[in-house]
A and B are shown apart, each in its own frame.
Chain A
């Protein structure tokens, strides 16, 4: 009996770790986009970085059910840490990236002690306060952060000592792509590990998880720290590829738009954040060019419409579509 159960469990875990076609499609399409839209590399790099940031929020919200209304705090901290390092004479990209992630992760660990204590609506408010707090701190220290004009004078050395950052953003694109893909693989490992399963179990049934002698507070702290680290890495990527850090990276607005990207893409799938970011950043680029007010209007309408109708975002819509197609062609197994 137990043997069968373990075999079943192993199969379930393997099934969860299976690569779905949507994931493969996204990463292949992202790589191809380099050749299809060679004049839009800056925008494509922005999509990858925003997607990575949305994925960091997915670890927290999609898997842990922990909403954050101030996640830009960690994105911006990573960006400023990496930016300051490069502006003060150390422009090596990979070590700068690690510093960005470490600073955001350490701050995330600190705040996770508070976060683990609260739940429900208070969670939104506490994370929002964290975000506003970090924003205020950065805007009140212009001697360090450059204040409203942003942090300038970031001078990056070549990646791995060989690939110079160029004007067209070719190196920046592949650098961001490689880092984001590596972190995507790492996030997949975390989500499929016992730690990740416990996190999801906590979201589904906290009482039962407690009765299995698993500490919810500890799971939350680990998830929050990891998520903050990935957010910091994404911020550091932005600082290094654009070579400027604006206060906007810390803003409430960025926290909210990332939340929107994630929900539009689909919660709890890791790839959803990237898909949502692609749609969001692309639409924003087109509509804001016409008139910023158009963008606000359509974004609002899309949000209301999405909340009224489909649950599950783009990932959910694709799943429903593929089920229908399979049912029609009769190949459902």
Chain B
């Protein structure tokens, strides 16, 4: 029984890893309606930035993670200004294929610049080891991820739901022309929102390297799982993404523990059933 609780905790922690990465996608794909297949590529940028800053430059862990988010935001914003903004009104299929093109270029660039091998990240001593909460023993790094995830959830939900910035984004998505005629610079707004999504991707990427590793194929490996998390959660709802990510992590880890021969089958079957019964996702706002 205690073993099961520990497995469940590990599953939930994995769900938080997914949430950290999927949170940004929930903004670009979910809120802004842009079929952004390149999201995990921005997460990879963050992961490499943090790992290399720590290993080569000797930057401490926390500043390196923050720098990773900033770098991913800058890269994301430049892509948005140069390329992506031309596709906001294009059909979904064109957005999908163009961003898949970006994924391929990113994989090639990462292989060329950093090399094809897996790289690891070193974390400070206070994040190594375990801490005890009552009867449950939890890895400090996982506990740290859960805290960051909760803080992020509160922060971003607050930003989107309770600030003028968030209200403007929601307005622009609902009716772009009307929002523009109210005097809002929609182009700049979208660029800012995209940079925010990419910053979250970079942060998630940097924090997840420790648990899931990092190599140039990262953008493809996590693409499908992140898309499932965001669409099962419901497009446009960060709370839904959070719920779906934690469920996804729990079902994945516990399912693999109880029925190892079924692998990811249970997970995808669950996702398929949810999407069939509720195409708009668990907490989706629109059909």
Taking Cβ atoms with an 8 Å cutoff, the residues of A that contact B are 61, 67, 114, 117-122, 124-126, 128-130, 132-133, 136-137, 139-140, 252-253, 256, 259-260, 263, 293-294, 296-297, 299-304, 306-308
Contacts and interface: CB of A to CB of B under 8 A. Distances in A.
Contacts of A125: 227-228, 231, 275
B261 A118 contact: no
B111 A293 contact: yes
Nearest to A122: B279
Given A133-B268, A293-B111, A303-B104, A124 B96 contact: yes
Given A121-B235, A129-B228, A132-B224, A304 B272 contact: no
Given A125-B227, A128-B227, A300-B100, 5 more contacts: A118-B276, A139-B263, A293-B108, A307-B94, A308-B98
Interface in B91-137: 92-94, 96-98, 100-109, 111-112
Contact of A304 (B102, B108, B109, B279): B102
B280 A304 contact: no
A303 B98 CA distance: 6
Given A263-B97, A307-B87, A136 B276 contact: no
Nearest to B274: A129
A133 B275 CA distance: 14
Q: Classify chain B: how many residues form its interface, as a range.
A: 35 or more
A139 B100 CA distance: 25
Nearest to B271: A129
Nearest to B94: A307
Question: Chain B's interface: helix, strand, loop or mixed, by majority?
Answer: helix
Nearest to A129: B272
B265 interface: yes
Interface of B: 35, 83, 86-87, 90, 92-94, 96-98, 100-109, 111-112, 220, 224, 227-228, 231, 235, 261-265, 268-269, 271-272, 275-276, 279-280
Contacts of A139: 263
7 contacts: A117-B279, A122-B231, A128-B227, A133-B269, A253-B220, A259-B97, A304-B101
B104 A140 contact: no
A93 B35 CA distance: 42
B25 to A, nearest CB: 13
Contacts of A120: 92
A140 B262 contact: yes
Contact of B224 (A126, A252, A307, A308): A252
Given A300-B101, A303-B100, A129 B279 contact: no
Question: Chain A's interface: helix, strand, loop or mixed, by majority?
Answer: helix
A305 to B, nearest CB: 8
Contacts of B103: 300
B263 A301 contact: no
A260 B228 contact: no
A296 B61 CA distance: 32
Contacts of B86: 308
B97 A300 contact: no
Nearest to A134: B268
A32 B212 CA distance: 50
A259 B37 CA distance: 14
A73 B55 CA distance: 42
Contacts of B100: 256, 260, 300, 303
Contacts of B83: 304, 308
B108 A122 contact: no
Contact of B104 (A114, A252, A300): A300
A116 B225 CA distance: 24
A306 B100 CA distance: 12
B79 to A, nearest CB: 10
Contacts of B112: 293, 297
Contact of A67 (B87, B93, B111, B265): B93
Nearest to B98: A307
